[in-house]
Amino acid sequence: MIGSACAWFLASCAGFDGSVLVVERDPSLETASTTRSGSSIRQQYTTGINIRISQFAAEHIHNFRDQTGGDADAPEIAIRSFGYLFLATEAGAPTLREAAALQRSLGVPTRLLDPAALGAAFPAINTDGVALASHNARDEGYFDGDGMHPWWRKQAKKRGVEFATDEVIAIDRDGDRVVAVRLRSGDRIATGAVVNAAGPRASGVAAMAGLSIPVEPRKRFCWIFDAATPPEGPFPLLIDPSGVYVYPRGGAYHTGCAPEDDRAVAPDDLAMDPEIFMEKVWPTLAARVPAFEALKVRAEWAGHYAYNTLDQNAVIGPHPELRNFLLVNGFSGHGLQQAPAMGRGISELIAYGEYRTLDMSVLGCQRILSGQPFLEKAVI
């Protein structure tokens, strides 16, 4: 998703007249985060920059055809705006209040709901233990991310971008510049700039350039299930205080969670935890939404977050020690929706050496070197 976004936005950037090569080790995208994603977008973040990034994502999605070259056969990408519903206990309520105030100041119509209002708005949800909830139904919900990245690639190809099936295995430096990447096929490609869009494998690619970044693959589990009796009334993307989430997807429901022991795993380890659904997820779902007492799992899979251990936020921009090596990594579970802003931002940094639209400098690499987190508190 991120590599394709960078390719499209660079190819369509007025100030860029170079050539672009995208190197992908596995074009089936079988193990990529992108194809294992929940593919949802939200505006409810706790930092202004993440809200603005999502606002641009929504604008790009709503105007996908026009923003990707205007071809009549462009896919129509819609946002199914059922809204995210964050539930907080007493301890979490102040964070929710603070976040809602920030979101509203930026034009997001987030509503805060006390337990009575919550029960009235979403009768299927058990409000036990909930002190406060927040909900926003504008530009929040499922979208077809898998319809977007192939189109970006197709349109980028039309504008001369090349795509190679190969693997970057080494990076050649000369002082503070990258001069070439070496591929498994034996090719050596001379480079003006290199963008690391390697998802959960990003720290391995950074290490090839002698850099250390705090991004690691962490497992997240997903299940698709049918409910014997669908819940009554509207159903949002519900985030339980336990971290288990659930939302309607394609006539069924998608639920997911993190492992109890949340730690770095090997980038090819996608094994499921055989116990977690019965031990944690189902009991949580049934307690929170009694209609989910009777359900049938249809599908399950594990995927990787490219987890930024410093602050669970994206890292975008040139590395201070290697000025033409740009990172666009560490999305920690919200990279699909951030791809349009990231692609545009990378294209501006390469073409102009600065942001021309949305200034995302607060997400730059300097904070990695200084160890200063820029924390996103709403990470699912």
Ligand X SMILES: Cc1cc2nc3c(=O)[nH]c(=O)nc-3n(C[C@H](O)[C@H](O)[C@H](O)COP(=O)(O)OP(=O)(O)OC[C@H]3O[C@@H](n4cnc5c(N)ncnc54)[C@H](O)[C@@H]3O)c2cc1C
Query: Which residues of the shown chain bind ligand X in the complex (CB under 6 A)?
Result: 1-3, 23-26, 29, 32-34, 36-40, 167-168, 197-201, 205, 220, 222, 256, 303-306, 331, 333-337
Can you tell me whether residue 65 is helix, strand or coil?
Answer: helix
Task: Name the nearest CA neighbour of 7 among 18, 57, 40, 307.
Answer: 18
Work out whether strand 111-113 and strand 132-136 pair parallel, antiparallel, or are unpaired: antiparallel
Smallest separation, CB 2 to ligand X (Å)? 4
Q: Which C-beta is closer to ligand X: that of 92 or that of 204?
A: 204
Classify residue 356 by its DSSP letter: S
Q: Which C-beta is closer to ligand X: that of 258 or that of 350?
A: 258
Q: Which C-beta is closer to ligand X: that of 75 or that of 115?
A: 75
Q: How far apart are the first and last CA of the chain?
A: 19
Tokens representing residue 255 in the block: 């639920």
Instruction: With beta carbons less than 8 A apart as the criterion, state whether 338 and 331 touch.
Output: yes
Q: Which C-beta is closer to ligand X: that of 206 or that of 227?
A: 206
Instruction: With beta carbons less than 8 A apart as the criterion, state whether 374 and 39 touch.
Output: no
Smallest separation, CB 365 to ligand X (Å)? 16
Smallest separation, CB 330 to ligand X (Å)? 9
Task: Name the nearest CA neighbour of 38 among 312, 247, 323.
Answer: 247
Helices (H), 177-270: 202-208
Instruction: Determine the distance from the C-alpha atom of residue 264 to the mean position of all C-alpha atoms in its chain, rounded to a whole number.
Output: 18
Q: Which C-beta is closer to ligand X: that of 37 or that of 68?
A: 37
Can you tell me whether residue 205 is helix, strand or coil?
Answer: helix
Smallest separation, CB 347 to ligand X (Å)? 16
Instruction: Determine the distance from the C-alpha atom of residue 147 to the mean position of all C-alpha atoms in its chain, rounded to a whole number.
Output: 15
**Residues linked to residue 24 through DSSP beta bridges, in sequence order:** 165
Smallest separation, CB 235 to ligand X (Å)? 16
Distances 296 to 224, 280, 283, 355 between C-alpha atoms, Å: 9, 16, 14, 48
Smallest separation, CB 312 to ligand X (Å)? 11
Smallest separation, CB 229 to ligand X (Å)? 26
Q: Which C-beta is closer to ligand X: that of 67 or that of 126?
A: 67
Q: Which C-beta is closer to ligand X: that of 2 or that of 194?
A: 2
> Vertex 348, ends 76 and 183: CA angle to 5°?
85
Tokens representing residue 24 in the block: 């992908």
Smallest separation, CB 94 to ligand X (Å)? 26
Tokens representing residue 294 in the block: 């009777």
Instruction: With beta carbons less than 8 A apart as the criterion, state whether 326 and 177 touch.
Output: no
Q: Which C-beta is closer to ligand X: that of 33 or that of 134?
A: 33
